[in-house]
Amino acid sequence: MFADRARILVSGGDGGDGASTFRREAHVPRGGPDGGDGGKGGDVVLVVEPGMTTLGDFKRRRHFRATPGGRGMGRKAHGRNGGDLVVRVPPGTVVRADDEWVGELIEADDRLVVARGGRGGRGNARFATPTNRAPKHAEKGTPGQERWIELELKLIADIGLVGAPNAGKSTLLAALTEARPEVGNYPFTTVTPNLGVIALDGDGERTAVMADVPGLIEGAHAGRGLGHHFLRHVERTRVLVAVVDGAAGEPLEEWEAVAEELRLHDPSLLERQFPMVVTKLDLPEVRERWPELRAALRKRGTDPIGVSAHDGTGLQALRTALVTALDAAGEADQHEPEEMLVHRFDPLAEGWQVVAEGDDLRVQGRRIEIAAARTDFENEESRDRFWRMLERLGVDEELRRRGAAPGTMVHIGSTELEWGDE
């Protein structure tokens, strides 16, 4: 099953809790705290699998969770780190979260971390000081990152065949490659993109990946017909081949409608190398009109190639034109500027704010939310340590100013606390 979109839930493993233990052995006076740190949770990592051509596997499985880290133990033993969860995706996969671009995976073995594991909590041995030699405080591990992400597949092909429905793209693909797409004399025979490998020279040493894109009709960019689902697949195609139906009532007008849909989707598509073929020259009526049609296209600045997938007419000339176009596209790729990385400023990465949530209050701020997640509120020493941090940052005063009273619920991340007198 071909699928080029999927939405999945990815969850990094939770960090392991730090241990609060004390060394108690015979003949070892003043053993002291020896609680070890918790292990780090595993990450969820997307990795390119070259043989994959669809996101269909994600229709059956949508939730992916990495292994959590192990708890720290006595004798300063470190908890086991959680293993990463590797999720295989096809080349050409674009990743978004909340409609924002996260990354894309193009080459074999490309890797992208989409959900990071939580950090392990520190054991009480880490908090011993000259003035507090027997701390009971140990941190909890932080939860792993969890979010829904959208996967979008943009097929990576060297050559893309574009044209109106029933223009002969699938038949041409079958004649040039070993692909065997479904072919029929009716619109929308092709309902998914088909891929094949074309030999560009006589000995087969130079090859290229060719794809036929389901037929585009007027209004495809706005959602009409089937082709709008697959317009994205031409974005990474280095060379586009305009396939004009020689047997159409008005071949030029039909192609111009297709070209307009490409322009409305992405104007830069029409700036690429664009060989043009007129199909079905094996039909008598097409052979008869071919000189007139070729002259009309030449007046528009295009030198078309007449082809017949059934008797092989023009196929070698097309291969030669494709070699020239691919070479020109390769030279253009070398002059493309490198993509710039954009770093967004997060105003709450270090700061904080208090907002109302109905009758409750919420403290927002990455630093404070992480501290709350790492605090064991059942441990009095850990609880006091957290409240001292709120007082030091001024959060305690702001909560009182915003009306916090005994019984008010205060939310910090996923932590819920009830405000008291103390």
- Provide mean pLDDT across the span 401-405: 87
Same domain, residue pair 102 and 19:
yes
Judge if 44 and 137 occupy the same domain: yes
Same domain? For 42 and 180 the reply is: no
Residue type, 329: A
User: Phi/psi at 172 (nearest 5 deg)?
Assistant: -65, -40
Query: Is 245 in the same domain as 170?
Result: yes
The domain spanning residue 398 has which CATH number?
3.30.300.350
| pLDDT higher than threshold 50 for residue 182 | yes
| 276-278/305-306 β-pairing | parallel
- Please check the confidence at residue 218 and state whether its pLDDT lies above 90: no
Same domain, 324 and 411: no
**pLDDT at site 206:** 82
Residues 373-389: what's their mean pLDDT? Answer: 89
Residue with tokens 């070993």: 178
Domain identity same for 323 and 179: yes
Q: Are residues 228 and 192 in the same domain?
A: yes
Last residue of a domain, one of 334, 368, 390: 334
Q: Is residue 321 part of a domain?
A: yes
Of 334, 367, 386, which one is at a domain's C-terminal end? 334
Containing domain of residue 248, as a range? Answer: 159-334
Domains identified in the chain, total number: 3
pLDDT per residue over 194-207, tens digit each?
Answer: 777 888 876 667 88
- The 10s digit of each residue's pLDDT in 67-88 is 999 999 988 899 999 999 999 9
Judged by average pLDDT, the poorest of 27-31, 257-261, 315-319 is 27-31
CATH number, domain containing residue 41: 2.70.210.12
346 in any annotated domain: no
User: What does the pLDDT average to over 12-38?
Assistant: 85
Q: Indicate whether 242 belongs to any domain.
A: yes
Q: In what order do the strands lie in the sheet with 93-97?
A: 63-65, 5-11, 146-153, 93-97, 100-105
Provide the pLDDT confidence category of residue 156 given band limits of 50, 70 and 90. Answer: low
What is the rounded CA–CA span in Å between residue 170 and residue 204? Answer: 22
Question: Are both 103 and 64 inside the same structural domain?
Answer: yes
pLDDT over threshold 80, residue 326: yes
Residue 52's alpha-carbon distances to 60, 92, 170, 177, 378, in angstroms, are 16, 10, 21, 19, 49
Residue 40 has pLDDT above 50, yes or no: yes
- Residue-wise pLDDT tens digits, 86-143: 999 988 888 999 888 888 888 888 999 999 999 999 999 999 888 888 899 999 999 9
In a domain, 23, yes or no: yes
Domain assignment present for residue 74? The answer is: yes
Task: Identify whether residues 179 and 328 lie together within a single domain.
Answer: yes
Tell me the pLDDT band of 231, cut-offs 50, 70 and 90: low
Q: Binning pLDDT at 50, 70 and 90, where does residue 404 land?
A: confident
Asked, for residue 344, whether it belongs to a domain, the answer is no
* 345 is a domain residue: no
Do 411 and 380 share a structural domain?
A: yes
- Of 126, 153, 180, which residue sits at a domain end? 153
Task: Please check whether residues 185 and 296 belong to one and the same domain.
Answer: yes
Query: What's the whole-number average pLDDT of the chain?
Result: 82
Residue 395 placed within a domain: yes
Looking at residue 95, what is its pLDDT?
93
Q: In this predicted structure, which of 145-159, 215-229, 233-247 has the lowest mean pLDDT?
A: 215-229
- The domain that holds 316 is classified in CATH as 3.40.50.300
pLDDT, greater one: 70 or 162? 70
Does one domain contain both 262 and 389? no
**pLDDT of 28 over the 70 cut:** no
Max Cα-Cα span within the chain: 107
